[in-house]
Chains A and B, each alone.
Chain A
């Protein structure tokens, strides 16, 4: 297997975008190609979940490769729910590592705000089991709400811990010009103040408005290539050193332990094993905080903290930008936003940015190893990536 390097990155603002989906997917590729200083690719992977359903556009990869005038390069769409981005990067990795291609572009994009809230909730709820979950009105926030309650009962996590994740990630997002949410909040304001029930209403009890990521449009891209190509760019060398992916039962109720996220545990372990590093080597991580509880639990399942102790590390400030293991310096899904197909690629964008030392105001002090966890469905399909800076 050949080593694979992330040689270029690009991103759009995550917000409401009044551009066609194909342009949201293509724009970050243009930026990433400029960043890498190259003009041609062998293949394009486009991560997208809802183009066909939400935007009435199928065959997105063909549209994107053409509008970028990159034909006749091959192009595929990868749909793996909210883990589409991680899956597309994995496919790009396999293509370069195997020797089939030397340079590939991976882009993730979603345009969810073209439809109203009801339709977007409905669209994301199609991830659930059609007969055993969906018919009951089960949505992703409701699965997260039930999971959160079980976690609170077992490990003593409180609404205050959840609010601390929201505050941390929204504060980080203030340092990220591409982040969707540009609003400073405080734990007092969203939990204790007389207005808290109005400004932070319940979505899926015990989860409240500020525990849930926003619905965003946006795109992000990363160019993957061989070492030979990477060295010619003259940019810091960042290697995609580990990939891992694992699945779990489609129905959340079928899992033996309702508070485990086994697919996260397994995908992370695979990714670390391939990279030849452990969780304690990681200097910066982007975790999939679609709901605040997920950042806490993923930080345990990937091995940064012991099971049931993630909220204690959060209390100690260990996951802040200046902490022991900074989590979601970009703002995460909570602050940066969550255009579902783009998220996995946006996580990789942030990690490459950080490992190069180019993250400006939100730069973590000299990280050598970076890590991403991209969480599909309610933890039934998870992709974890490990990155290493080499010079």
Chain B
């Protein structure tokens, strides 16, 4: 099964949201579940980023790259970076991978690499 991260399109006005919300942020007319999910594009531009040295407990790596990416449809997403020397404005491409593992649980999210 191909894993995707979904954005949610309002059935009333067509506004696209990521992440999911219960009422449309644009028209306010939409109610719970009146959204059509659509997979987020993978290509985008790095808006800003950080290399995190003080990690939460579940991460057994020395540092963690994190960034905000503006995808080609204009939606922004927070994700992990696998980039040696990131720079604001860099073109990146994402893949859905395991981003966090707790004891019996794996969480999937977007991991970006230089395009």
Mark contacts of A246-257 with chain B using CB atoms, 8 A cut-off: 1 yes-contact digit, 0 otherwise. Answer: 000001111000
Q: Chain B: interface secondary structure?
A: strand
Contact B53 A205 (CB under 8 A): yes
B73 within 8 A of A: no
Residue of B nearest to A249 (CB): B25
Residues of B within 8 A of A138 (CB): 66, 78
Mark contacts of B52-95 with chain A using CB atoms, 8 A cut-off: 1 yes-contact digit, 0 otherwise. Answer: 11111111000010111000000011111000000010000000
Minimum Cβ distance to chain A for residue B97 (Å): 11
Interface positions, chain A 137-183, Cβ under 8 Å from B, are 137-139, 141-142, 145-147, 149-150, 153
B47 within 8 A of A: yes
Given contacts A149-B48, A149-B49, contact A131 B19 (CB under 8 A): yes
Given contacts A118-B56, A132-B18, contact A258 B50 (CB under 8 A): no
Give CA–CA (A135, B108) in the complex, Å.
8
B104 within 8 A of A: no
Find A251's partner among B19, B55, B99 (CB 8 Å cutoff).
B19
A204 within 8 A of B: yes
Residues of B within 8 A of A147 (CB): 48
Give CA–CA (A142, B20) in the complex, Å.
22
Residue of A nearest to B57 (CB): A118
Pick the most buried of B47, B48, B77, B100: most chain A CB atoms within 10 A of its CB. Answer: B48
Find B54's partner among A119, A131, A203, A253 (CB 8 Å cutoff).
A203
A202 within 8 A of B: yes
Give CA–CA (A117, B56) in the complex, Å.
9
Chain B residues close to A by CB (< 8 Å): 18-20, 47-59, 64, 66-68, 76-80, 88, 99-100, 107, 109
Residues of A within 8 A of B50 (CB): 142, 145-146, 149, 204-207
Residues of B within 8 A of A251 (CB): 19, 78
Give CA–CA (A336, B88) in the complex, Å.
34
Pick the most buried of A139, A141, A147: most chain B CB atoms within 10 A of its CB. Answer: A139
Give CA–CA (A324, B100) in the complex, Å.
48
Residues of B within 8 A of A146 (CB): 48-50, 66-68
Residue of B nearest to A203 (CB): B54
Contact B56 A139 (CB under 8 A): yes
Pick the most buried of A117, A125, A146: most chain B CB atoms within 10 A of its CB. Answer: A146
Given contacts A205-B50, A205-B53, contact A136 B68 (CB under 8 A): no
Find A122's partner among B56, B77, B79 (CB 8 Å cutoff).
B56
Mark contacts of A296-313 with chain B using CB atoms, 8 A cut-off: 1 yes-contact digit, 0 otherwise. Answer: 000000000000000000
Minimum Cβ distance to chain A for residue B78 (Å): 5
Contact A132 B48 (CB under 8 A): no
Contact B48 A139 (CB under 8 A): no
Residues of A within 8 A of B107 (CB): 135
Find A149's partner among B18, B53, B88 (CB 8 Å cutoff).
B88
Give CA–CA (A131, B50) in the complex, Å.
19
Given contacts A137-B64, A149-B48, A149-B88, contact A252 B53 (CB under 8 A): no
Contact B51 A205 (CB under 8 A): yes
Residues of B within 8 A of A71 (CB): none
Contact B59 A254 (CB under 8 A): no
Find A133's partner among B49, B55, B78 (CB 8 Å cutoff).
B78
